[in-house]
């Protein structure tokens, strides 16, 4: 399937609403054409500055205007960040994503400290990601020079629904920050949240905005809203797991080379539900007991799930896991004294094995 940058909302809605099994099969097939289905990238999200944000994002407990009983903190020290990064690496993460509750980055001592944090984590042979709010072109370049691997800046929803959730920052502001990051060698991480009261058309609209970027984001987080008491969205009902699977599958189909991250809301999902998300094309997660301020499964639980599903953490500095060729698979199985397996979808079928199977059938 050729990479496209001209998806329409109507096309994406048609994919999203396909019969479930058909959607799942198509997404899984495309996933195996572009990625190793048994490899998942693991990131640890660290809140290096919590609370006091001047924005009014309706889902976020870090907004200063909401009363959420959130315990804020000033910017962490470089040594504190290094200790957390070492802990994350020991637990299997290949990336540390540092988040600060800022509307936008301001030049000065705090930003200088963040740059040093990036350099420090880089020396640990880990990928470094930041989500710090809006960036200028110069600030993006300084982060790149410090060794930043990825920058996260979510679009959150469709442009039409965005204004229902946030009024202190425009949709174009977010696109401008992504554009500034693209002027560097830093990869882009950008996705959104479902379950905020948006329609299916809004979900498709968000995927239109992301998929028509050229290049498409290297990572797309799909979050399920975690309602927090004290925020405008506290009464929202949990997103059904079927909606999450459909969203993951649709994202995989329209952005085949992107890493699709199963993000917030995993504490509400069963292992079976998460397994279906991985089958549908999710190949990245956030690990650790918190995603900035919202709950997340414990690392040990995730590693137990990985073992159960036969999943392996992706190594650092790999932009996407490569699918194993059918020849490589067959060589591996033959070396183990086993018969070659059928090729994965999208690869040339082993005709010798196909002939053998047909002969058995006729017999």
Is residue 261 annotated as part of the catalytic site, yes or no? yes
pLDDT of residue 64: 65
Q: What is the pLDDT of residues 84-114, one digit of tens each?
A: 999 889 888 899 999 988 888 899 999 999 9
pLDDT of residue 300: 81
Paired tokens of 263: 């993000």
Catalytic pick among 4, 32, 65, 97: 97
Q: What is the pLDDT of residues 20-55, one digit of tens each?
A: 999 999 999 999 999 999 999 999 988 888 877 788
Is residue 57 annotated as part of the catalytic site, yes or no? yes
Count of CB atoms situated within 10 Å of the CB of 243: 16
Catalytic pick among 32, 53, 95, 142: 53
Is residue 129 annotated as part of the catalytic site, yes or no? yes
Are 241 and 275 spatial neighbours (Cβ–Cβ below 8 Å)?
Answer: no
The structure's pTM equals 0.84
Distance CA 94, CA 314 (A): 7
pLDDT of residue 155: 95
pLDDT of residue 338: 53
Binding-site residues sit at 53, 57, 60, 97, 129, 189, 261
Are 278 and 313 spatial neighbours (Cβ–Cβ below 8 Å)?
Answer: no
Domains by residue range for the chain, with CATH: 9-313 (3.20.20.70), 326-362 (no CATH)
Beta bridge partners of 313: 40
Catalytic pick among 129, 142, 182, 203: 129
Paired tokens of 180: 């500034």
Binding-site residues for [2Fe-2S] cluster sit at 97, 129, 189, 261
Range list of H helices, 17-63: 20-34
Q: Write out residues in the chain with pLDDT < 70, as ranges.
A: 1, 64, 67, 70-72, 288-297, 320-322, 324-363
pLDDT of residue 55: 84
Beta bridge partners of 39: 312
Catalytic pick among 32, 130, 142, 189: 189
pLDDT of residue 292: 52
pLDDT of residue 336: 54
Catalytic pick among 32, 246, 261, 344: 261
pLDDT of residue 183: 95
Is residue 130 annotated as part of the catalytic site, yes or no? no
Q: Which residue, 319, 254, 307, is CA-closest to 283?
A: 319
Is residue 277 annotated as part of the catalytic site, yes or no? no
Query: Phi/psi class of residue 201: alpha, beta or left (left: φ > 0; alpha: ψ in -120 to 50)?
Result: alpha
């Amino acid at each position: 399937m050729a990479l496209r940058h001209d998806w329409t909302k109507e096309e994406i809605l048609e994919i999203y609403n396909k019969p479930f099994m058909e959607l799942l099969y198509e997404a899984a097939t495309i996933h195996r054409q572009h990625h190793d289905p048994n490899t998942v990238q693991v990131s640890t999200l660290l809140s290096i500055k919590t609370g006091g944000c001047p924005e009014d994002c309706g889902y976020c407990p870090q907004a200063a205007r909401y009363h959420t009983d959130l315990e804020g903190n000033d910017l962490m020290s470089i040594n504190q960040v290094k200790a957390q990064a070492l802990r994350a690496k020991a637990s299997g993460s290949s990336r540390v994503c540092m988040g600060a509750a800022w509307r936008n980055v301001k030049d000065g001592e705090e930003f200088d400290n963040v740059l040093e944090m990036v350099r420090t984590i880089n020396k640990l042979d880990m990928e470094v990601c930041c989500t710090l709010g809006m960036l200028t072109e110069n600030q993006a370049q300084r982060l790149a020079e410090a060794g930043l691997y990825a920058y996260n800046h979510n679009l959150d929803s469709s442009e039409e629904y965005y204004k229902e959730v946030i009024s202190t920052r425009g949709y174009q502001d977010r696109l401008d920050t992504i554009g500034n990051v693209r002027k560097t060698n830093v990869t882009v991480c950008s996705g959104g949240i479902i379950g905020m009261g948006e329609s299916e058309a809004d979900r498709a609209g968000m995927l239109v905005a992301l998929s028509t970027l050229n290049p498409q984001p290297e990572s797309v987080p799909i979050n399920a809203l975690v309602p927090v008491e004290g925020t405008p969205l506290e009464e929202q009902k949990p997103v059904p797991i079927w909606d999450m699977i459909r969203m993951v599958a649709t994202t995989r189909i329209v952005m085949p080379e992107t890493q699709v991250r199963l993000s917030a809301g995993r504490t509400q999902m069963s292992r079976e539900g998460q397994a279906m998300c991985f089958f549908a094309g999710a190949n990245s997660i956030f690990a650790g007991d918190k995603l900035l301020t919202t709950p997340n499964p414990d690392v040990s639980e995730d590693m137990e799930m990985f073992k159960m599903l036969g999943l392996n953490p992706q190594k650092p500095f790999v932009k996407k896991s490569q699918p194993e060729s059918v020849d490589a698979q067959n060589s591996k199985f033959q070396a183990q004294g086993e018969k070659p397996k059928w090729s994965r979808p999208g690869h040339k079928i082993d005709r010798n094995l196909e002939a053998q199977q047909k002969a058995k059938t006729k017999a």
